[in-house]
Structure 1
Amino acid sequence: MTTTIDAEIRRCGEAVCARLLDEIEKLGIAPGRLARLPFYDQAEFESSRDPYSGEETLCGHWRDARGHSVGQIKFHGDGSFYAEFDIVLPHPTDPRWFVEGVTAWGRGEVIKGEAKLLEALGE
């Protein structure tokens, strides 16, 4: 049973990571500009209890070379998930925006995603 659940979470996690990478690509950011990318196999996982529902949540974290968090992916007991990954770069084609990161969320086969943009500081 655990093996089946692990395989399902892995399949879902890989799809969520693919969505994060799609959002990065949509922005026009070349993967080579980022020191780290959101690959499922590179996340460090731990289990925690959701304080609201009391259900188990599997939390994965991506870290940079110094050990600082640059993203997370969470699988909740109700089947939903949420992921975010830091970009922290000026928008490559629109100077009005700064790209804070990308997010993905959903349940089952439904995965939504978007960029987290901040208004760029004026000069």
Structure 2
Amino acid sequence: MSDLTAQITANRPLGEAVCQRLSAEIDKLGFAASEALPYPQYDEARFELVKDPYTGGHNLACHWFNHANKQRLGKLQFNSDGSFYAEFDVVKPHPRKSQWFVEGVTAWGQADNIKAEAKLLPLTP
């Protein structure tokens, strides 16, 4: 088994939990079902190992892309210290708060403490 395959397998439970948390943050915003927003799925990511500049170890980076135009939608990186950071684009006006624009959602932490929030930008009149 290659290092990349081993990392993908080892990080699968946390990766799937992070994807669920990001999806829950999108759902909490209140978009209509008809919006057909993309959601992050662990197995739909493209994976690569990136060198950690501090430890010299390898971190697993996961990238999601739009199927239609191959534009990047998000990223999840597992760090060699057990932490992670994820972001996933939404790029739509807030469905319930007209003064805000939803840039995306983020998640960070470790397996036993996943935190997440929406990234909102104020709309100027």
**TM-score of the pair, normalised by structure 2:** 0.87
Instruction: Work out the percentage of aligned pairs sharing the same amino acid.
Output: 51
Q: How many residues align?
A: 122
Which stretches in structure 1 are left out of the alignment for 5+ residues?
none
Measure, in 1, the Cα distance between the counterparts of 2:104 and 2:48: 23
Tell me what 1:59 maps to: 61
Which stretches in structure 2 are left out of the alignment for 5+ residues?
none
1:81 equivalent to 2:84? Answer: yes
Measure, in 2, the Cα distance between the counterparts of 1:26 and 1:35: 13
Instruction: Tell whether the 8 Å contact from 2:18 to 2:114 is kept in structure 1 after alignment.
Output: yes
Q: Residue 44 and residue 117 in structure 1: after superposition, are their counterparts in 2 closer, same or farther (change >3 A)?
A: same
Deviation at 1:23, TM superposition (A): 0.3
For residue 30 of structure 2, the aligned residue among 28, 32, 35 is 28
Measure, in 2, the Cα distance between the counterparts of 1:89 and 1:72: 18
Higher deviation after alignment, 81-90 or 6-15: 6-15
1:75 partner letter: F
Instruction: Tell whether the 8 Å contact from 2:37 to 2:90 is kept in structure 1 after alignment.
Output: no
Tell me what 1:48 maps to: 50
Per-residue CA deviation, residues 11-35 of structure 1 (Å, 9 max, x unaligned), is: 0000000000010011112465245
Tell me what 1:94 maps to: 97
Tell me what 1:68 maps to: 71
Deviation at 1:55, TM superposition (A): 2.5
SS for the counterpart of 2:39 is: coil
**TM-score of the pair, normalised by structure 1:** 0.89
- What is the Cα-based RMSD across aligned positions, in Å? 2.0
